[in-house]
Amino acid sequence: MTSSVRSTVRVLFQTAVDQVKREGLLPAVPDSIPVERPKRPEHGDYATNAALALARISGKQPRALAEIIVERLRAAGGADISEVSVAGPGFINLRLSDAFWQRRLLDILAAPGRWGQGEPKQSPRVLVEYLSANPTGPLHFAHGRHAAVGDSLTRLLRFAGYDVLREFYLNDAGNQVAMLALSVWARYMEAAKGEDWTGVIVPEVAFPENGYRGNYIRELAVELLEREAGRFVGAHPPADMEPIKQFAIGRCMDMIRGTLAKFDVSFDVWQSERALHDSGEVSSTLAALEQAGFIDRRDNAVWLKTTVLWGDDKDRVVVKSDGLPTYLLADIAYHRKKIERGFDELCDIWGADHHGHVPRMQAALKALGHDPNRLSVLLIQMVSLLRDGKPVAMGKREGEFISLDEVIDEIGRDATRFFYLMRRHDTPLEFDLELAKRQSMDNPVYYAQYAHARCASLLRRATELQAPRMPPSAELFARLNLPEEISLLRRLSDFPDFVEDAAAAREPHRMVSFISDLAGEFQSYYTRLQKVHGDSVLPQERQRVGNWRATWDWQKTAARLHWVEAIRQVLETALGLVGVSAPAVMKRIGEEGEEAS
């Protein structure tokens, strides 16, 4: 799809090392030379430790071998290399020429919307299962981080070339949905008080101690009463709870799907836990574990030997003394089915409080004859909501929670998604509502979107000024010679490598860092261009006097407009990968110079 600077530099190093081998100075060379970005930019664009790694077999000191490689590297790189040197015990530092970075703009412009996209990968085939909120009520604020991370990760992986499926595991079996049904029924009985049910007396019903107390439960109860009238007044829980349970689960799932649509999150598969039980997947998984010798029956229960499999502190119950399977057994069956469906990597996104579940699931996969490393789990740390600098307490069962809908309605989808991704997933996050809804440059998402809008504004104003458009060429782009312009070209050129690395690390938050850095560098350039260099992308009103068209440097302007379009395209692509829009027009915020609207 798009070429990588890192791979280009690796070829240069490989060519130089291969030449050293052909000259008889090295008996062998690796198939791929290690290449990395120096930690300090003043050391160059790229570096390799190849001389250190090959010194022993060459019979030379690392620095001496590095000097030989450097000579061959200069010949291989030609005009693309501006500087190459040996540092420390034998590191080779390389700096690419301005002309190299200027030519990269041709590649970026030739791939609108596709710059950074990876080649399709045959493997691994990845199943990303995330969010999987219990269908016992609306999505609350904390769920939003799971949704944002999972959706952005799948967007990133697909853009990087991975074959990815998105899945939601619906926990529609077990105690929690049973408690949901009891909670709705209790409120239904309250709502039925005072009605005439043809002689049926509505008994007093105590609300379950651990029931769900949110106002949505009352709303579901009223809806059930309107729909079914007195059908369930004489119910005897839990025997008559199944219709109520299915009604409540269905309505809760309607809420969840509606919120996800508003959040621009979708799934390819909705996998029901209950369906796993009904299809026999759970019982067949238990049989497979027993056949493998990892099941122990004692104390009227069935245990998985996790102490043997994974050094767990104790074995884990998979079937309780009442004969009912545990959540663990259903989850093992679910992951077994994932592998049977042909997925190479099972990437799950769970809350940090599930960290102890990870080794148990890996132990179960091992017991079933699979590589436990096929399961990778991203553990999402807690996110706290601040309002006026004070934490907002939340507790779903008590009904005291802020829904994800409320947050989206207050600050918008873009800010909500961006803020969730501002920290690595395994780092606690403080979500500042007041900052997120502020339309100013200290709001990170506003700042990023404003950079895109500014690019779009410059391109519109160029059309209004009838600025001549010149076809892109290396000669034209040689006019982009300010240090800030070269630095931004370097950042744009690095985007394919950035995408590849972020996807490989399964870290979508890196994209927010890239967006913020690119937006910040462009905004800084825009300010410095006028204040430091006394220049501008387009002629300002004060400059448009007399015969200004004849004296203006239209070649430099044409080069800069192509460059601005490339920045705009990459910003739009990167924002899209985190599910954030790239507006072409935004409200002016009083800065000097060109406005973004």
What digits encode the pLDDT tens for the residues 98-124?
Answer: 999 999 999 999 999 999 999 999 999
pLDDT for the residue numbered 58:
93
For the chain, how far is it from start to end, CA to CA, in angstroms?
A: 34
pLDDT for the residue numbered 394:
60
pLDDT for the residue numbered 296:
95
Query: Exposure string (b/e) for 323-355, b if CB count within 10 Å is 16 or more?
Result: eebbebbbbbbbbbbbbeeebebbbbbbeeeee
CA distance 210 to 207: 9
Q: Does domain 5-96 have CATH number 3.30.1360.70?
A: yes
Q: What are the strands, taking DSSP E only, across 439-495?
A: none
Residue 479 · residue 453 · CB < 8 Å: no
Residue that has been written with the tokens 């007093």 in this structure: 204
Report residue 496's pLDDT band, with 50, 70 and 90 as the boundaries: very high
For residue 266, give the DSSP letter: -
Residue 141 · residue 395 · CB < 8 Å: no
For residue 354, give the DSSP letter: G
Segment 329-346 shows an average pLDDT of: 97
pLDDT for the residue numbered 597:
43
Report residue 234's pLDDT band, with 50, 70 and 90 as the boundaries: confident
Report field, pTM of the whole predicted structure over 0.85: yes
Q: Please tell me the total number of residues recorded for the chain in this structure.
A: 597
CA distance 328 to 346: 17
- % of the chain at pLDDT higher than 70: 96
CA distance 421 to 497: 20
Query: Given CA atoms 32, 36, 42, 45 in this order, what sign does their dihedral have?
Result: positive
Residue 392's alpha-carbon distances to 310, 384, 430, 562, in angstroms, are 39, 7, 11, 47
For residue 592, give the DSSP letter: S
Surface-to-core class of residue 67, CB atoms within 10 Å of its CB (0-12 exposed, 13-18 middle, 19+ buried) = middle
- % of the chain at pLDDT higher than 90: 85
**Strands 295-298, 301-304: pairing kind:** antiparallel
For residue 372, give the DSSP letter: G
Residue 411's alpha-carbon distances to 330, 404, 445, in angstroms, are 38, 11, 11
Residue 268 · residue 311 · CB < 8 Å: no
Chain-centre distance for alpha carbon 13: 33
99-101-106-110 Cα dihedral, nearest 10 degrees: 160
For residue 393, give the DSSP letter: P
Omega cis (within 30) before 124:
yes
Residue 394 · residue 402 · CB < 8 Å: yes
Q: Which residues contact 245 (CB under 8 A, 6 or more apart)?
A: 177, 178, 180, 181
- The half-sphere exposure of 24 on its side-chain side, counting CA atoms within 13 A, is 0
Q: Can you give 38-100 as a three-state secondary structure string? A: CCCHHHCCEEECHHHHHHHHHCCCHHHHHHHHHHHHHHHHHHHEEEEEEECCCEEEEEECHHH
Residue 48 · residue 36 · CB < 8 Å: yes
CA distance 521 to 41: 15
Average pLDDT, the chain: 93
Does pLDDT of 176 surpass 50?
yes
For residue 324, give the DSSP letter: P
Reduced to 3 states, what is the DSSP secondary structure of residue 531?
A: helix
CA distance 333 to 330: 5
For residue 233, give the DSSP letter: T
Omega cis (within 30) before 238:
yes
Query: Exposure string (b/e) for 483-507, b if CB count within 10 Å is 16 or more?
Result: ebbbebbbbbbbbbbbbbebbeebb
- The half-sphere exposure of 494 on its side-chain side, counting CA atoms within 13 A, is 19
pLDDT tens digits along 127-136: 999 999 999 9
38-42-46-51 Cα dihedral, nearest 10 degrees: -80
For residue 488, give the amino acid letter.
L
Q: Boundaries of CATH 3.30.1360.70 in the chain?
A: 5-96
Report residue 230's pLDDT band, with 50, 70 and 90 as the boundaries: confident
pLDDT for the residue numbered 466:
95
Six-digit token string for 552: 């203006």
Reduced to 3 states, what is the DSSP secondary structure of residue 323?
A: coil
Show the CA angle centred on residue 395, arms to residues 265 and 173, nearest 5°.
65
Report residue 591's pLDDT band, with 50, 70 and 90 as the boundaries: very low
pLDDT tens digits along 393-421: 665 445 567 899 999 999 999 999 999 99
CATH number among 3.40.50.720, 1.10.540.10, 1.10.1740.10, 1.10.730.10, domain 444-577:
1.10.730.10
Residue 431 · residue 444 · CB < 8 Å: no
Q: Boundaries of CATH 1.10.730.10 in the chain?
A: 444-577
pLDDT for the residue numbered 37:
92
Surface-to-core class of residue 56, CB atoms within 10 Å of its CB (0-12 exposed, 13-18 middle, 19+ buried) = exposed
Describe the crossing of helices 413-420 and 141-159 by its angle, rounded to 10 degrees: 80
Segment 185-199 shows an average pLDDT of: 83
Neighbours of 207 (CB within 10 A): 16
Q: What is the DSSP string of 194-231?
A: TS--TTPPPPP-PPPTT---SHHHHHHHHHHHHHHTTT
pLDDT for the residue numbered 589:
53
CA distance 55 to 41: 26
Report residue 258's pLDDT band, with 50, 70 and 90 as the boundaries: very high
